[in-house]
Structure 1
Amino acid sequence: MDSVDLNVLRSVLQWRRAGQRVVLFSVVQTWGTAPRAPGAMLALREDGVVIGSVSGGCVEDDLIARLHDGRIPAGGPPVQLITYGVTQEEAARFGLPCGGTLRLTEERVGDPAWVAELIARCDNHEIVARTLNVETGEVTLQAAGKHDSLAFDGRILRAIYGPRWRLLLIGAGQLSRYVAEMARLLDFEVLVCDPRTEFVQDWEELHGRFIPGMPDDAVLSIQADERTAIVALTHDPRLDDMALLTALDSRAFYVGALGSRVNSRKRRDNLAELGLSEQAIARLHGPIGLPIGSHSPAEIALSLLAEIVALKNGAGQKQKEAMESV
């Protein structure tokens, strides 16, 4: 899940623990073109404060209006379904593009214990399925896998929640600072490892959490998984290759290293001499980034994150090959 949706649940938990009534809206089905995909959430507090989104804005306005005009009574059913955009006129009224339609669950949050447990399990880097019975409002949590997806049959909603995407940077130099700043805007949790003490000044303000030790130990300590990207940016093979030896045998969805095509070929040869398998070496992205003609640190950071996000979203290699063929 995106951490914007995880933040919705954090607010739900805070509000309910403070004794405030909360209604949680979740997108469960869409037809045509919809601004948010199934699984997107919005929480509405009893005083009209909202967090999250389920559309481009107009639907959110109507959800708030439902609270103020009495369409969400305190004693109503625990869950009900709402549909927007059934007709072209209604789609235009609510700003749904191309005549799109979306269906939401309107769920009154009672005991927030499930919210606390779900957040804790996501923070522990677990993937969790939340099952909601629309008829009774009952919520249960189960372990889920990386290939599971949201399912709704009109009575049972099974939504998938997971941890934040992480980016581990090997090296705390100037390029890493640009990458970290952009990655935070893209909602990545930024981790940094650099045993060179000369490079750590003022990193705290960039909100990059430092991982102590040498690069290979850092990769092991974070237990890199399918939601982790690892990039070696020191330009020093004594540090970069240490991280790559471990990272390329991990479950990280992206492993890259800064360097020209010539240096990247040399790095692959070095990794082979160090005993890394051909299959593992083939996972290495180098040169890093999409080919946008980047030169400055900011442009290199942009091209790197574009490649990481494309791969995260399932577009990675095809997009890079298309760009290189132009």
Structure 2
Amino acid sequence: MDSINLEVLKSCEEWISDGRPCELVTVIRTWGSSPRPEGAMLAICDDGCVVGSVSGGCIEDDLIDRVRREGITRTRPEIVTYGITADEAHRFGLPCGGTIQLAIEPLSNDSRVTELLQRLSKNELVARRLYLSSGAVTLGPATTGMSMQVSETAMTTIHGPRWRLLIVGAGQLSRFLAQIAIGMDYHVTVCDPREEYREGWQVAGVEVIHAMPDDLAIEMKLDSHSAVIALTHDPKLDDLVLMEALRSDAFYVGAIGSRVNNAKRRERLKLFDVSDAQLSKLHGPIGVYIGSKTPAEVAISILAEMTAVKNGVPLLDEARIENAKTAQRQRPSIDLCEGAP
């Protein structure tokens, strides 16, 4: 599963290769409410076919209509603003009178899309700089702290996984976690020293490593853009990597297991001089309560919690698995016959 922006770039590459006129549309600024964030991209071909999204669909409709009526005629990048007036906001379906500014870039072989994709396939973080007056493009290395920049002369967009996820354990649940996380623009690494679990485990775009998880965590130099999820149920593997992850700057550290097992895990970690402050970073039982039962549902639950932490959104106590299950057990049962004649 590719991220949305990666799908956009791959479509651009295909159209350019086929000699078909196409444009890359990028959200560069928003005011008020907007359904898509800055940096969101859309590709549009000469027949009106689109991949990606820059709004809830209304602006896409206008872009498609213009291409079908006028064709793709731009020879240089252009900045276009939608939603300046209340009438336009209503016309384009922008919520709360929001305004969105787009960069529309005609593409060619000189746009360096193929080179960008090649570098992304190597998990590089790339800064793509577009010069607005000429349409010239340069590519260079980027760092995790960089963000999109727009000036009167150039637009620099950041491509590649700025977030990393280390999954410990090559099981069925880790497969769903990895697939969804890749679509969320994470660089995913799965670590499992157990050969019987690694054999046959494969997800496109995910590196599977045979190593002790704690050694790998040290080697990765976990930072504030890193997350670690331990899924093996084996203390010899999970506890060791959790020790290293909790002592790092990783923004999210979680481990699967029941409340009882997590309580025991915390006591074990204390024996290895993991402080109370460090233990407070550990998420377990992992995930938010959505009544999940299947591996795919559990993966969604875990990634929902991880996303909330990443975005600085505090979870209500009722959403945490431990509290939700306790409340559910304490909730009085309903007599279905009550009130019946």
TM-score by length of 1: 0.80
Count of residue correspondences: 321
Q: Distance in 1 between matches of 2:132 and 2:183?
A: 35
Superposed displacement of residue 210, structure 1: 3.0
Counterpart for residue 137 of structure 1: 135
Does the 8 Å contact 2:83/2:100 carry over to 1? yes
Does the 8 Å contact 2:46/2:72 carry over to 1? no
* 1:27 maps to amino acid: V
Q: Distance in 1 between matches of 2:205 and 2:129?
A: 34
- SS state at 1:255 partner: strand
Counterpart for residue 54 of structure 2: 54
CA 124–275 in structure 1, closer or farther in 2 if over 3 Å, else same: farther
Does the 8 Å contact 1:177/1:206 carry over to 2? no
Superposed displacement of residue 107, structure 1: 0.9
- SS state at 2:109 partner: coil
Q: Distance in 1 between matches of 2:222 and 2:122?
A: 12
Q: Deviations over 1:178-201 (max 9, x none)?
A: 545654665655543333444457
Superposed displacement of residue 54, structure 1: 0.9
- SS state at 1:43 partner: strand
TM-score by length of 2: 0.76
* 1:254 maps to amino acid: Y
Counterpart for residue 315 of structure 2: 319
CA 130–321 in structure 1, closer or farther in 2 if over 3 Å, else same: farther
Q: Deviations over 1:58-98 (max 9, x none)?
A: 2112212222222632xx44111222222222222222222
Does the 8 Å contact 1:151/1:157 carry over to 2? yes
Does the 8 Å contact 2:292/2:301 carry over to 1? yes
Superposed displacement of residue 290, structure 1: 3.2
Structure 2: runs of 5+ lacking an equivalent: 325-341
Matches within 5 A, 1:111-150: 111-112=109-110, 114-150=112-148
Structure 1: runs of 5+ lacking an equivalent: none
Q: Distance in 2 between matches of 1:107 and 1:152?
A: 14
- SS state at 1:213 partner: coil
Aligned-residue CA RMSD (Å):
3.5
Superposed displacement of residue 128, structure 1: 3.3
User: Does 1:161 pair with 2:147?
Assistant: no
Q: Distance in 2 between matches of 1:92 and 1:54?
A: 17
* 1:64 maps to amino acid: I
Q: Distance in 2 between matches of 1:188 and 1:200?
A: 21
User: Does 1:32 pair with 2:28?
Assistant: no
User: Does 1:255 pair with 2:253?
Assistant: yes
Matches within 5 A, 1:1-326: 3-70=3-70, 72-73=72-73, 76-112=74-110, 114-163=112-161, 165-173=163-171, 175-176=173-174, 179-180=177-178, 183=181, 186=184, 188=186, 190-200=188-198, 203-204=201-202, 210-219=208-217, 224=222, 226-250=224-248, 252-261=250-259, 263-274=261-272, 281-290=279-288, 300-315=298-313, 318-319=314-315, 323=319
CA 71–100 in structure 1, closer or farther in 2 if over 3 Å, else same: farther
Q: Deviations over 1:188-242 (max 9, x none)?
A: 5554333344445764479865322333344456665554422111221011123
Q: Distance in 1 between matches of 2:154 and 2:178?
A: 40
Larger Rg: 2
Q: Distance in 1 between matches of 2:68 and 2:101?
A: 21
Does the 8 Å contact 2:123/2:187 carry over to 1? no
Q: Which moved more, 1:228-237 or 1:124-133?
A: 124-133
Q: Distance in 2 between matches of 1:207 and 1:119?
A: 13
CA 199–11 in structure 1, closer or farther in 2 if over 3 Å, else same: same
* 1:43 maps to amino acid: A
Superposed displacement of residue 301, structure 1: 3.6
Does the 8 Å contact 2:127/2:159 carry over to 1? yes
